[in-house]
Amino acid sequence: MIEPLQRLLAADVLKGLTSRPLPELRDLRVRCAQVESDVSLARRVAQGRLDIVGREVRRRAGDPDGTAVPGDHVASVLFELPDLMSDGVSGGSPSGRPVSITAPGEVALTMIERLDTTASPADLAQIEQLGVERLAEVFENISSFEAELSAVRRRLHETIDAIQAEIGRRYRDGEASVDSLLT
């Protein structure tokens, strides 16, 4: 696992949360948010690839012998690509968290490299030529990878929520003040 992500997912990351200095909590929250953004980016790339492979699986299911007419199919995929890539996108995430797009960091780049070993852009470019077994393998590998990223993302959200709750508690209980931010 990637070191910054491993540190943030460690069992003791929230240990002593109530006694940590406020600047340390804010820093931890920012680091978690940055890594969560990277995980989300890698997950979106995985979902895009999964959509493309899933579309090919569905196309073949409607084709009795599983063969394709390459020219017509490629044009069809290109025509449908905007719809494939925008399914379910409404300007936010399903969890209600705002989606921010930033330049990919170390975690995103490493995860996307890992995804490339599972389902490379070359595989997707030649999706019509993939055998049924290879297509099923690619679909399963991407699905597993996406599920793993979803679980990591949930854990990061839980960590961010716990940190935010502690920061909020301090302001609510008078342990911290807005005035301290201005000085």
Predicted confidence at residue 70, as pLDDT, reads 47
Rounded mean pLDDT, 116-127: 88
**3-state SS class at 159:** helix
Please check the confidence at residue 57 and state whether its pLDDT lies above 80: yes
Q: Are 99 and 40 in contact (CB under 8 A)?
A: yes
Apex 125 CA angle, 119 and 130, nearest 5? 70
**3-state SS class at 180:** helix
Q: Which residues pair with 98 in a beta bridge?
A: 92
What is the dihedral sign for C-alpha 99, 162, 149, 51? negative
Separation CA 112–CA 114 (nearest Å): 5
Alpha-carbon Rg for the chain, nearest whole angstrom, is 21
Residue ranges of the domains in the chain? 3-11+20-182
Apex 82 CA angle, 71 and 134, nearest 5? 55
- What is the band of 26 on the pLDDT scale with cuts at 50, 70, 90? very high
Residue with tokens 């490629």: 74
Among 17-26, 90-99, 169-178, the minimum mean pLDDT is found in 90-99
- What is the band of 55 on the pLDDT scale with cuts at 50, 70, 90? confident
Q: How many CB atoms lie within 10 A of CB 130?
A: 17
Q: Tell me the pTM.
A: 0.77
Separation CA 128–CA 53 (nearest Å): 10
Q: Which of 137, 138, 109 is nearest to 121 (CA)?
A: 138
Please check the confidence at residue 146 and state whether its pLDDT lies above 90: yes
Higher-pLDDT residue of 8, 88:
8
Separation CA 49–CA 10 (nearest Å): 29
Distance from the Cα of residue 60 to its chain's centroid: 28
